[in-house]
């Protein structure tokens, strides 16, 4: 199977408390023994010799968002057919862990991350990005059942575990105990060869999950009853779907999530929307970052994360004011009330940071701090949070006061423009050649969830140089 990633996400509407226990296998990941997720081999960093390795870090939490101290965390290398290697650690008293070096992907397989503590377990199938704080969420075990149309034999397995379930003559399969998890894979096997795969999330409060009927579509298992998560360049964003309501604030799975670590190619355009011939990659927080040349921006096509709550964040090493407006994030075709939905930028006229939705001084603009709010020449973590149409700006984990409020106000009312057309979403610049952000950009996130002040502060502390 190829490494291209096109996914389906499990919707709450697809969950049912109906379960056939035929052809199921027991999963013993919550025992106190070492036989977890099919067994652990403490390989003593032997996988560190493989190329393209990363160091991973994160936090183990339960569904209420509470840190899980001393949780056991394992990185499994899985080649879709079986587990081939593993590396193990224990989270500290705050639930924080580090693992690595581990290959991002290799001939041996790609990593899955498993955590367990006191009868709860969780699996992440997507991996955690280089030194980026993220979460493994643990919960009670669940049952899982489904059916593959036209399949009469073979089996399905869940990578990162030794769980298998035989397929009956009518195509049905069932597991009587699987870990909770985010972006877990289900692989359809025939004669020990991977035929097709499917991705789902098992973080529902219900303990029995039933997948819709699946069919083989090339190398993927698909269903007309479920929305698609589409790949776009080097990251993924999620089309809206019905998502569990009980996820903790801080778990890394909102409806739309874009993460750009700058360690691979990104889509950089010139202000006239032509593809940039030169992209200036420089040293970042860890790995590479991007220093946009004047007139460039990072393009996310018509991504639309600002319809409700959202969080935009990046790390930057700012070179300071340069006599021009400097765009951080914008959603606009050009600077007109009819084609501009949202923009967060340094406003040269007022010397502040501004959130706007149309022409300058358009009603509803919110201004934060001043030109000294973001340090010059050193790494800074910038975050903009919109919750219930109130926006707040944070620098290095601390809220920035609204300009002119004498440091007493930290949130302002803001509602993006409603447009009749889709417009581009851009980072670090726009269609005006002089408005490029004047500094290095790294660790970009676009999320349709309002991150809490506590989450922002923890993220800053974990990643600060």
**pLDDT mean over 435-443:** 96
Q: What is the mean pLDDT of the chain?
A: 78
User: In the prediction, which pLDDT does 448 show?
Assistant: 86
User: In the prediction, which pLDDT does 114 show?
Assistant: 95
**pLDDT mean over 418-446:** 92
Q: Indicate whether 273 and 143 sit together in one domain.
A: no
Q: Indicate whether 304 and 173 sit together in one domain.
A: no
Final residue in a domain of this structure, among 181, 208, 238: 238
Judged against a pLDDT cut of 60, whether residue 379 lies above it is answered with yes
Q: What is the CATH number of the domain that holds 418?
A: 2.60.120.200
**pLDDT mean over 388-417:** 93
Locate tokens 């604030």: which residue? 249
In the sheet that 135-138 helps form, which strands lie side by side, from edge to edge? Answer: 96-103, 53-62, 135-138
pLDDT tens per residue across span 336-365: 767 889 999 999 999 999 999 876 555 679
Q: Indicate whether 211 and 261 sit together in one domain.
A: no
- Domain assignment present for residue 2? The answer is no
Q: Indicate whether 222 and 308 sit together in one domain.
A: no
Band of pLDDT at residue 65, cut at 50, 70 and 90? confident
Q: Indicate whether 206 and 348 sit together in one domain.
A: no
User: In the prediction, which pLDDT does 67 show?
Assistant: 86
Q: Indicate whether 273 and 138 sit together in one domain.
A: no
Separation CA 393–CA 381 (nearest Å): 11
Separation CA 15–CA 209 (nearest Å): 5
User: In the prediction, which pLDDT does 234 show?
Assistant: 26
Q: Indicate whether 195 and 274 sit together in one domain.
A: no
Judged against a pLDDT cut of 60, whether residue 28 lies above it is answered with no
CA angle 181, 73, 62 (to 5 degrees): 50
Q: Residues 6 or more apart from 284 whose CB is under 8 A from it?
A: 262, 263, 315, 440, 442, 443
CA angle 36, 40, 44 (to 5 degrees): 150
- Domain assignment present for residue 352? The answer is yes
- Domain assignment present for residue 95? The answer is yes
- Domain assignment present for residue 104? The answer is yes
Q: Indicate whether 215 and 336 sit together in one domain.
A: no
Judged against a pLDDT cut of 50, whether residue 374 lies above it is answered with yes
- Percentage of the chain with pLDDT > 90? 45
User: In the prediction, which pLDDT does 386 show?
Assistant: 95
User: In the prediction, which pLDDT does 1 show?
Assistant: 36
- Domain assignment present for residue 89? The answer is yes
Judged against a pLDDT cut of 70, whether residue 328 lies above it is answered with yes
**pLDDT mean over 8-30:** 24
Q: Indicate whether 196 and 261 sit together in one domain.
A: no
Final residue in a domain of this structure, among 194, 211, 238: 238
Q: Residues 6 or more apart from 229 whose CB is under 8 A from it?
A: 6, 7, 8, 9, 199, 236, 237, 238, 239
- Percentage of the chain with pLDDT > 70? 77
Separation CA 53–CA 99 (nearest Å): 11
Q: What is the domain range of residue 234? A: 7-238
User: In the prediction, which pLDDT does 201 show?
Assistant: 78
Q: Indicate whether 221 and 357 sit together in one domain.
A: no
User: In the prediction, which pLDDT does 383 show?
Assistant: 98
The overall pTM is greater than 0.85: no
What total of structural domains would you count in the chain? 2
């Amino acid at each position: 199977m190829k490494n291209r990633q096109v996914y389906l996400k499990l919707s709450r509407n697809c969950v049912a408390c109906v379960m056939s226990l035929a052809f199921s296998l027991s999963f013993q990941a919550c025992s106190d023994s070492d036989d977890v997720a099919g067994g652990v081999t403490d390989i003593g960093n032997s996988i560190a010799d493989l190329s393209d390795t990363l160091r991973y870090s994160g936090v183990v939490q339960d569904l209420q968002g509470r840190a899980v101290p001393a949780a056991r965390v394992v990185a499994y290398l899985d080649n879709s057919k079986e587990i081939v290697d593993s590396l193990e650690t224990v989270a500290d008293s705050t639930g924080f862990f580090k693992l690595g070096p581990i290959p991002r992907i290799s001939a041996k397989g790609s990593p899955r991350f498993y955590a367990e503590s006191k009868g709860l377990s969780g699996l992440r199938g997507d991996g955690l990005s280089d030194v980026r704080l993220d979460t493994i969420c643990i919960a009670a075990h669940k049952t899982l059942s489904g059916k593959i149309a036209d399949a009469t034999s073979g089996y399905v397995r869940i990578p990162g575990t030794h769980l298998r379930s035989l397929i009956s003559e009518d195509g049905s399969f069932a597991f009587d105990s699987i870990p909770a998890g985010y972006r877990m894979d289900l692989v359809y096997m025939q004669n020990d060869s991977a035929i097709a795969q499917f991705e789902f999330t098992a973080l529902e409060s219900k303990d029995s999950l039933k997948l819709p009927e699946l069919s083989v579509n090339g190398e993927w298992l698909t269903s007309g009853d479920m929305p698609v998560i589409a790949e776009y360049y080097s990251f993924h964003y999620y089309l809206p779907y019905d998502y569990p309501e009980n996820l903790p604030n801080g778990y890394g799975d909102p409806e739309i999530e874009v993460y750009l670590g700058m360690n691979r190619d990104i889509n950089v355009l010139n202000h006239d929307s032509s593809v940039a011939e030169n992209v200036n990659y420089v040293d970042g927080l860890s790995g590479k970052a991007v220093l946009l040349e004047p007139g460039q921006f990072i393009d996310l096509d018509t991504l639309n994360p600002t319809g409700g709550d959202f969080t935009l964040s990046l790390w930057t090493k700012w070179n300071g004011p340069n006599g021009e407006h400097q765009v951080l994030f914008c959603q606009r075709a050009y600077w007109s009330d009819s084609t501009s939905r949202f923009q967060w930028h340094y406003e040269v006229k007022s010397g502040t940071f501004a959130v706007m939705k149309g022409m300058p001084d358009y009603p509803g603009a919110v201004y934060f701090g001043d030109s000294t709010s973001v340090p010059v020449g050193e790494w800074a973590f910038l975050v903009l949070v919109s919750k219930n149409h109130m926006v707040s700006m944070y620098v290095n984990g601390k809220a920035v006061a609204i300009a002119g409020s004498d440091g007493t106000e930290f949130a302002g009312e803001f509602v993006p423009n409603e447009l009749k057309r889709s417009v581009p979403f851009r980072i670090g610049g726009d269609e005006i050649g002089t408005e490029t952000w004047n500094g290095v950009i790294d660790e970009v996130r676009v999320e349709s969830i309002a991150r809490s002040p506590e989450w922002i502060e923890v993220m800053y502390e974990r990643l600060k140089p």
